[in-house]
Amino acid sequence: MSREPNNLGMNIRYSETRVVQVAETELLRRGIVVRPGTAGQDAAVDRLGVSFNMLRTQVLHRLTQKGWNTLAVTSPQANTGKTMSAINLAISMARELHHTVLLVDLDLRKPKMHEYFGFTPTIGIEDILDGSAELSSALVNPGIERLVMLPAKGPVWNSAELLASPAMAQLVMDLKSRYPSRFILFDMPPLLPTDDTIAFVPHVDCVLLVIEDGRTLRTDIERSVGLLNGASTPLLGTVLNKADVRQPTYP
């Protein structure tokens, strides 16, 4: 495991974790907002950043209130912007100075979290689970302070079995208990096409459901909520993605 930095302020140095620097312009092109409110930045980008800051505040409040530190991000179906939402939320959470964030790619059939940051992982979470690599060798810092990623290489043919395995349960327990000031976000596959997410969510404290404005069906939302209830995993809330909402400026 890479050493958690003692100083949660600025200029964190990762002694073991691989650091991948990505140009902020490239991240913005892929829909990732690192610093909302930057001078000269597009108004739509700032609105997106503000939206995720508001989501961050609500999520952190509820997690802290419950004493939780693990959150799975999923959606009823594919192509809702789930991974982008998970990344933006993780970055927004990492901007707070009092904790660190670990973002884990568990969409093992189609992992693409690393694509947003422009690198190809040589070691993934599947290598940790089969014992062929140490956790510290897979961790990546994408040039954003207080944020560390655990990517997946994929695709994995037995993904549901791997997500429900004792090795996965042990890894999650280790990640949850190792650092009390860390929040862990898991980017999951969509709920309805496979049983991958339902196999895993009993390991986490709660779930955030991403739905797409004008596209996600009410019946799919109801089926997703029913599956989560059956897994006895609390639904923290829903995120309405790709909505065209014009927020007034302040002041």
User: 210 has which bridge partners?
Assistant: 239
Q: What average pLDDT does the chain have?
A: 88
Distance, in Å, from the CA atom of 119 to the CA atom of 85, rounded to the nearest integer, reads 19
Q: What is the pLDDT of residues 79-103, one digit of tens each?
A: 999 999 999 999 999 998 889 999 9
Residue 48 has pLDDT above 90, yes or no: no
Cis omega (within 30 of 0) on the bond before 155?
yes
CATH class of the domain comprising 24-241: alpha beta
pTM score of the predicted model: 0.89
Residues 69 and 184: beta-carbon distance below 8 Å: yes
The pLDDT of residue 17 is above 90: no
Name, in order, each residue with C-beta under 8 angstroms of 239's C-beta and a sequence gap of 6 or more. 55, 85, 208, 209, 210, 211
Looking at residue 4, its pLDDT comes to: 42
pLDDT, tens digit (0-9, with 9 covering 90-100), for 164-221: 999 999 999 999 888 888 999 999 999 999 999 999 999 999 999 999 999 999 999 9
